């Protein structure tokens, strides 16, 4: 039985006792000094119990005010269902429940192409001729993602990709190898409420486990990774504005310096240069989107992504020389728009399919599909 009910019972008993006392005293004449002192003691105990009961009531009201209302809990559940069904990397916006494991298989296909102007010298002739070549790149990435709800407000995630690339340009090239593994932790800074969105803070780390672009023969080989240790810190939000779900985020990325390189590259003037060191630029990324629940089994989201990277620095020296120079690249930007839809296959499993299109730079598009499997410990 709750403590405040026990106190209420005790107060009722004391009140009955106080009521019976005067009646008994009336039958026996004036109360004695001992009886008067007993009445005072009972009255003091009654006042103390009333104060304690009032304190417990205030504590109960405070706890009730901190608990989410049914409407707020329903909003959070709807937001989580839509984002989990349509977003491939749900760790950005949705936390797993405590002691829950999620395994997500993803398949992504992307294509990019552009026209390249190539100049070549004809055999036995002293002049060059121009040829337009179509550069085309295809990639197929199979990845397995693992997530674990460490606590109610903390989730861990990891992704293990396997990459297949194919290039059509002059001499065709292809490669299949492990990509860069990624690891992350997400923290629920604020839950969604009637007035405020849910806010998640995230920290990520990418390990250069794929084939580095700085450690291959660039004329005859292809890379499957970025070649650098990189870290990211971000904040993401999501909010139900019935019937629309609004979500987005902002993140900053830092890539560590890559040293100890010995990659030979041509500078375009029949001179071979040796790449010794790379200092990748820093990155700022942001995204925002809208989501809808079309029915109990179908959801759809629209998302815009953009990133801006500062210039990278490359330290190169001539193959037969010792004087190295630092060359600086240009700032770069990228942007894409994607549409994703999710179908509920079972109460715990959904299939997500998305289409993305590049908005800046070379012509590109991507198609991806993912399916999660959730287990509770």
Kindly report, residue by residue over 164-221, the tens digit of the pLDDT. Answer: 999 887 678 899 999 999 999 999 999 888 888 989 999 999 999 999 999 988 778 8
Closest by CA to 107, choosing from 336, 371, 374, is: 371
Mean pLDDT of 322-327: 86
CATH of 70-376, one of 2.60.110.10, 2.60.40.4070, 3.40.50.720, 2.40.128.130: 2.40.128.130
**pLDDT score recorded for residue 116:** 66
**pLDDT score recorded for residue 314:** 92
pLDDT above 80 for 11: no
What is the rounded CA–CA span in Å between residue 351 and residue 341?
Answer: 8
Spatial strand order of the sheet with 263-266 comes to 263-266, 272-279, 313-318, 325-328
What ranges do the domains of the chain cover?
3-66, 70-376
Mean pLDDT of 101-118: 84
pLDDT above 60 for 4: no
> pTM surpassing 0.85?
no
Beta strands at 332-346 and 181-190: parallel, antiparallel or unpaired: unpaired
Closest by CA to 277, choosing from 218, 222, 227, 219, is: 227
CA atoms within 13 A on the CB side of 192: 25
pLDDT above 60 for 64: no
In the structure encoding, which two tokens stand for residue 49, read together?
Answer: 């119990």
**pLDDT score recorded for residue 26:** 46
Residues 137 and 116 sit within 8 Å (Cβ to Cβ)? no
109 to each of 41, 82, 141, 143, 195, how far by Cα in Å? 83, 23, 7, 12, 39
What is the rounded CA–CA span in Å between residue 96 and residue 106?
Answer: 18
């Amino acid at each position: 039985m709750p403590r405040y009910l026990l106190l209420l019972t005790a107060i009722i008993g004391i009140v009955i006792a106080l009521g019976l006392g005067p009646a008994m005293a009336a039958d026996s004449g004036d109360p004695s000094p001992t009886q008067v002192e007993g009445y005072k003691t009972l009255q003091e105990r009654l006042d103390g119990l009333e104060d304690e009961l009032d304190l417990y009531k205030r504590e109960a009201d405070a706890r009730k005010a901190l608990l989410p209302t049914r409407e707020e809990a329903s909003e959070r559940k709807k937001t989580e269902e839509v984002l989990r069904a349509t977003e491939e990397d749900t760790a950005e916006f949705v936390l797993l429940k405590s002691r829950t494991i999620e395994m997500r298989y993803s398949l992504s296909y992307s294509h990019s192409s552009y026209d390249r102007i190539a100049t070549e010298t004809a055999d036995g002739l002293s002049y060059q001729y121009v040829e337009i070549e179509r550069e085309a790149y295809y990639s197929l990435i199979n990845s397995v993602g693992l997530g674990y709800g460490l606590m109610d407000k903390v989730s861990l995630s990891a992704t293990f990709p396997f990459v297949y690339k194919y290039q059509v340009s002059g001499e065709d090239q292809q490669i299949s190898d492990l990509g860069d593994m990624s690891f992350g932790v997400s923290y629920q800074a604020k839950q969604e409420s009637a007035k405020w969105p849910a806010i998640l803070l995230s920290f990520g780390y990418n390990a250069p486990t794929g084939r580095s672009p700085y450690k291959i023969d660039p004329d005859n080989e292809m890379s499957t990774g970025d070649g650098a240790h990189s870290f990211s810190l971000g904040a993401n939000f999501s909010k139900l504005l019935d019937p629309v779900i609004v979500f987005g985020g902002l993140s900053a990325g830092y890539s560590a310096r890559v040293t100890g390189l010995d990659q030979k590259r041509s500078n375009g003037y029949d001179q071979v240069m040796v790449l010794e060191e790379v200092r990748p630029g820093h990155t700022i990324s942001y995204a925002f989107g809208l989501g809808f629940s079309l029915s109990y089994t179908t959801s759809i989201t629209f998302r815009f992504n953009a990133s801006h990277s500062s210039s990278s620095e490359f330290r190169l020296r001539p193959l037969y020389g010792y004087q190295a120079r630092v060359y600086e690249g240009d700032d770069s930007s990228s942007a894409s728009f994607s549409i994703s839809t999710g179908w509920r296959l079972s109460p715990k499993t959904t299939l997500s399919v998305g289409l993305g299109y590049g908005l800046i730079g070379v012509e590109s598009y991507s198609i991806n599909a993912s399916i999660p499997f959730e287990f509770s410990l």
